[in-house]
């Protein structure tokens, strides 16, 4: 990776979009996780109810955890992926440490 302005190789990748996207995705994933937890708890309770009160408790608990984890992870990954795209397509993701020039990945000429 070279700076288009001064040809320096001391170029830093900023990845702001990925970080923000990951955080936003994590939050919305947590919201989705809560929804997933509730439907997971319902499904788990249904399955567990066959085994009586104890099974109902275990099923609800396991279903909630599974639903929450899956929802949260999916949101975080989706957010980070979206942020990555924003980094590469929209933001000037790279910054030269020598001259401070900021440029996108596919951009080869100075502005």
Residues lying near Zn ion in the complex (CB under 5 A): 3, 5-6, 8, 96, 98-99, 101
5 vs 39, which CB is nearer to Zn ion?
Answer: 5
14 vs 19, which CB is nearer to Zn ion?
Answer: 14
CB of 13 vs Zn ion, minimal distance in Å? 14
CB of 6 vs Zn ion, minimal distance in Å? 3
Q: What six digits make up the tokens of 28?
A: 């919305």
Q: How many alpha carbons fall within 13 Å on the CB side of residue 57?
A: 2
CB of 90 vs Zn ion, minimal distance in Å? 21
Contacts of 55 (CB under 8 A, 6+ apart): 47, 48, 49
* Radius of gyration from C-alpha coordinates of the chain: 22
At which residue do the structure tokens 């957010």 appear? 79
5 vs 28, which CB is nearer to Zn ion?
Answer: 5
């Amino acid at each position: 990776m070279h700076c288009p302005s001064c040809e320096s190789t001391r170029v830093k990748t900023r990845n702001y979009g990925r970080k923000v996207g990951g955080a936003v995705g994590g939050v919305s994933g947590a919201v989705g996780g809560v929804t997933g937890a509730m439907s997971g708890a319902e499904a788990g309770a249904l399955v567990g109810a066959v085994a009586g009160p104890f099974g109902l408790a275990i099923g609800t608990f396991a279903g909630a955890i599974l639903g929450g984890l899956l929802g949260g992870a999916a949101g975080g990954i989706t957010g980070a992926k979206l942020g990555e795209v924003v980094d590469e397509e929209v933001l000037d993701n790279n910054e030269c440490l020598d001259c401070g020039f900021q440029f996108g990945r596919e951009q080869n000429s100075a502005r």
